[in-house]
Amino acid sequence: MMNPPFSSVDRRALLALGVGGLTLGLSPAFAQTSGGTKPKIATIGAGRQGGALGTLFAKAGYQVMFSALDPDALKDLVAAAGPNTQAGTTAQAVAFGDVVLIAVPYSAMEQIGRDFGSGLATKQLVLDISNPIGGRDGADLVKKINDEGGAGLATARILPGAHIVRAFNAINYAALPRAAHRSGTPLGVPIAGDDPKAVALATALIKDIGFEAVVVGGLANGKYLVPGTPLAGEHTPDELRKIAAGLS
Ligand SMILES: NC(=O)c1ccc[n+]([C@@H]2O[C@H](COP(=O)([O-])OP(=O)(O)OC[C@H]3O[C@@H](n4cnc5c(N)ncnc54)[C@H](OP(=O)(O)O)[C@@H]3O)[C@@H](O)[C@H]2O)c1
């Protein structure tokens, strides 16, 4: 089965990443590792957003390991998400996943980078869901991240060598289960990343759990993937493309 054609905004963004038409044509119709198997998914953080996304991956047939500071507190989540899931420590999750979702308060990112950055740099994809939020992480941290060019570039500094794609940053966790695989036009998910293979894998994974990824640019555009920006909230893919085309 062929992938749907990329829009002009997606195509421009991907071309800027160095992904030509030939590579697009060869991108997998379903998410797979470079070895051709279904990637194992790990979450660092299994609260509202990490729990909701990991559950969607488990229901789509992926093996998922949820992790949190207290993995014993994840028993109910694992029971609800079903037999494809298990809970572990952050170290176990980093060892387990081919793809790692990070869904933690942004103030935890530096520690995660220090303790797990070398492991995360070996992964095919790190999906960065996390946002710096003043009310939770502190105004000083938000200013520091903004001074660095926003959350995309800051995550790249914190996780050197990792294949990072920002995604699902400003779609509320409660909307995810009802919006996944909705009938008609899928819900659009704006994504930003610098690594073409990671962007292609993220696009395929997002499709597998029932959404349509819209590439809005490289990690420098990750600053738009936070709550309170025009891309935030629930939009169709076409709406996202129009909004993205108007971003400077
Ligand atoms: N909630 C949403 O609708 C939503 C939407 C888009 C993006 N986001 C972003 O996603 C991130 C998570 O939000 P959330 O609402 O899911 O938060 P949450 O419900 O409070 O969950 C946070 C999770 O992070 C874990 N955690 C905290 N510090 C950690 C560390 N140092 N190492 C490993 N795990 C750690 C927590 O583990 P313990 O419980 O064991 O402490 C918990 O599992 C935030 O950056 C948020 O801005 C959230």
Domain ranges of the chain: 8-245
Model confidence band, residue 12 (pLDDT cutoffs 50, 70, 90): low
User: Residues 44, 90: contact at Cβ < 8 Å?
Assistant: yes
Distance CA 142, CA 161 (A): 23
Residue nearest to ligand 1 atom 5, measured at CA: 172
pLDDT for residue 139: 97
Residues 201-226, mean pLDDT to the nearest whole number: 97
Residues 162-172, mean pLDDT to the nearest whole number: 98
Ligand 1 centroid to Cα of residue 30, in Å, is: 28
Residues 121-148, mean pLDDT to the nearest whole number: 97
Q: Ligand 1: residues within 6 Å at CB?
A: 44-50, 68-70, 73, 90, 103-106, 108, 111-112, 129-131, 133, 168-170, 172-173
pLDDT for residue 210: 98
Q: Taking 80 as the threshold, does the pLDDT of residue 95 lie above it?
A: yes
Distance CA 206, CA 8 (A): 19
Helix count (H) and strand count (E) of the chain?
12, 8
Measured from the Cα of 174, ligand 1's closest atom is 3
Q: Taking 60 as the threshold, does the pLDDT of residue 221 lie above it?
A: yes
Distance CA 207, CA 191 (A): 12
CA 28 to chain centre: 18
Residues 152-171, mean pLDDT to the nearest whole number: 98
Helix, strand, coil % over all residues of the chain, rounded to 5: 45, 15, 40
Q: Taking 90 as the threshold, does the pLDDT of residue 104 lie above it?
A: yes
Residues 114-132, mean pLDDT to the nearest whole number: 98
Q: Supply 117's token pair.
A: 């950055």
- Count Cβ neighbours within 10 Å for each residue of 66-77 and write b for 16 or more, e otherwise: bbbeebeebeeb
Q: Taking 50 as the threshold, does the pLDDT of residue 217 lie above it?
A: yes
Regarding pTM above 0.85, the answer is: yes
Residues 137-155, mean pLDDT to the nearest whole number: 97
Residue nearest to ligand 1 atom 15, measured at CA: 48
Distance CA 120, CA 99 (A): 9
CATH architecture of 8-245: 3-Layer(aba) Sandwich (3.40)
